[in-house]
A and B are shown apart, each in its own frame.
Chain A
């Protein structure tokens, strides 16, 4: 199947700093990628849809100025958590539909963010 990578796999940062998380499709192009966050023992919550060449679409309740998304190329989307706070600590996962088989959605391994 298609491979999606994320970097870093885990990061610890201080309150008030910004953190960038990368999501890459390694063997296919993705005009659309999705960003989710997952709290412990909970399901995935869709944060936003990242669109190559245009603005991201944010879900209701997600602050677009806090969670900056840039879909720089057909294989890379980045999520920047700005002015991070401890409540932003979570597991962030990206996904992408695999090329022409848009019904096959592949997920990255996730990035665990801890804000101290």
Chain B
């Protein structure tokens, strides 16, 4: 059981470039989330989805976009990368037999230079 899978694990972007962080879960979870983690700040919610076709903003959505065309996938897109988006990004999911427990992927380390 793969759980929550994030790709890539590491990426360096130049300012102004675009990229997509991929997230997939194989647990048939309805709820999916994207968080970013900055040193000393804990994790902040970027976007979340309660099911296919439904997305909503979290605490820090500016500079990001998401889509949820299938239950399994929840990609996070950065359109014009900025140094402030240098962070560690975590995808997570919840649902089914996991109840209210949220399970996290292993993270994607992004550096914008």
* Mutual binders A and B: no
